Structure 1
Amino acid sequence: MPDLTGRVALVTGAARGQRRSHAVHLAEAGADVIAVDICAQIDTVTYPMSTPDDLEETVRLVQAHERRCHALVADVRDSTALRTAVDAGVAELGRLDVVVANAGISGYGGVERGLSDEAWRNVLDTNLTGAWNTCAAAIPHMTHGGSIVLTSSVGGLKGIRNLVHYTSAKHGLTGLMRTLALEHAHQSIRVNLVHPTAVNTPMIMNEGTFRTFRPDLQNPGLDDVREAFVGNNALPVSWVEPADVSKAVLFLASDDARYVTGATLPVDAGALLR
């Protein structure tokens, strides 16, 4: 495992899912963690979002690795609140070396499925503008250089039906990443993207997703969609685990990737080959 002892990492959306896994893996590698999450429900999101208790559990798991964790509630859509949170975290932990901008939401819809203006705005504002807000708040503190890892999706490199707002936001992250990588290379700040396939998290494992894959069933469950998920990937797996993505994030955050910047790294079980 890479050694991040003495470094501080910011993780947005850290209360659960991939983001909690990233925070814990970074702590296991020796980093202290600034953990930010909205810990509230967004009206257009149809699955339950994180809670303050979820964020506290992330703190507990980070501290179990004998690392400090400064947890803050903030909405990445609110640039002022996010900047205040990042400033407070850096003041508490002393520096900032790694940024994992992973706060994100999903949903299903399109022109024919009646995607609302509000749902479109919430996904774009969270997944794309939220990543920009995170980088804008963090970069002034990265005075020793460092690594920024943005979380995209296979939907950032190809279109996915019924996910027009999500794939638009994730495609936008590619432009954001490449521009920031150019603009901040002289500061020794590296910026990269990870592109997971479906990940075993609450954002995927919910009734809305199951109904999208199996509209022919009244109450589809996990077993009903497992094979449909396999069909998305080249490798014979339905989805990947959060830890699989965290290991890629850890690589990009570490000195093992010291000359890797502007990269799009799939963790996709071959989904982009389809």
Structure 2
Amino acid sequence: MAGRMEGKVVFITGAARGQGRSHALRLAEEGADIIAVDICEPIPGVTEYEGSTPDDLNETVKQVEALDRRIVAEQGDVRDPDRLKQVVDRGVAELGGRLDGIVANAGIDIFNHWHAFSQDDWQTTIDINLTGVWNTVRAAAPVMIDAGNGGSIVLISSANGIKPGPFNAPYNAAKFGVTALGKSFAQEMSRDGVRVNTIHPGPVDTHMAQGVDRIVELESENPGLLAMLNGFPRGDAEGISLMSPREISNAVLYLLSDESTWTTGLPMAVDGGMSAT
């Protein structure tokens, strides 16, 4: 039986590890070929977790190829639209001249009190998490539209793109912006047969989740704010439970597959109810 993504090509940002790698592998399992990009270096200001590396991206390549699928992987920064266009063009040329899906996944998170964020913290978060999504769609969607075959775009927002979380003001602002971009793109690209949806993960077991400890530390100076995370299944005494990245990848698969041909403009929460109240 053919896979649900058989014959399709998907462009994924932030693909070196974490959710991005998980998306690449889940889609490859269902027959997709992958165009992958990741900055593969530390981001100034992000101190809660280490940046991805070229070795991480090479591991994504190995795992996709082990599934007998093709992958074109390059280092690149979503803040650089020209570089994204180069990666997309090369990938499309090498993988059969088509592009069927886009997953704007790359992102960072920095936790602090609103008044303690530096101007650089704010700008870096907005540039990567919001403008980077804009750059991704601008670089890749025209290829999809020009082919005239429709397609599907998934923007990875956050539960914090529906309901703000504490100590995360720049991230909240960026992720709400991604939610709005998804709806705007969905409206305008519908005439081209291109679907655009956003996914809103809760805490996921990736490097970024290491910042959860920082939230607990910050709450000591502003007690009670973690109650805003009500609705999410709690773990043991060590804190909030984390979901597998594959939970998000399964949602990505649905939205990119032909099973979702009437689904567009949807903010899909995969967060255990974190954003429900």
Partner of 1:70: 72
Q: Deviations over 1:146-180 (max 9, x none)?
A: 10000011100112111000000000011111111
Q: What is the CA–CA distance in structure 1 between the aligned matches of 2:177 and 2:228, rounded to whole Å? A: 27
1:271 alignment partner, SS class? coil
- The alpha-carbon deviation at position 101 of structure 1 amounts to 0.4
RMSD of aligned Cα (Å): 1.9
The match for 1:49 among 48, 51, 57 is 51
Q: Is the 8 A contact 2:183 2:265 kept in 1?
A: yes
Partner of 1:258: 261
1:11 alignment partner, SS class? strand
- The alpha-carbon deviation at position 272 of structure 1 amounts to 1.4
The match for 1:163 among 159, 168, 174 is 168
- The alpha-carbon deviation at position 253 of structure 1 amounts to 0.4
Consecutive unaligned residues in structure 1, runs of 5 or more: 218-227
1:265 alignment partner, SS class? strand
Partner of 2:213: 210
Decide whether aligned partners of structure 1 residues 269 and 230 sit closer, same or farther in structure 2, where only a CA change above 3 A counts. farther
1:272 alignment partner, SS class? coil
Residues 1-274 of structure 1: matches in 2 within 5 Å? Answer: 3-46=4-47, 47-94=49-96, 95-112=98-115, 114-142=116-144, 143=147, 144-205=149-210, 208-215=211-218, 232-236=230-234, 238-274=241-277
- The alpha-carbon deviation at position 273 of structure 1 amounts to 2.4
Q: Given the two structures, how large is their TM-score scaled by the length of structure 1? A: 0.91
Q: What is the CA–CA distance in structure 1 between the aligned matches of 2:214 and 2:135, rounded to whole Å? A: 33
**One-letter code of the match for 1:54?**
D
- The alpha-carbon deviation at position 182 of structure 1 amounts to 0.9
Q: What is the CA–CA distance in structure 1 between the aligned matches of 2:79 and 2:130, rounded to whole Å? A: 9
Q: What is the CA–CA distance in structure 2 between the aligned matches of 1:246 and 1:29, rounded to whole Å? A: 12
Q: Deviations over 1:34-83 (max 9, x none)?
A: 01000011111112010000000000111111000100111000111111
Q: Is the 8 A contact 1:8 1:96 kept in 2?
A: yes
**One-letter code of the match for 2:59?**
E
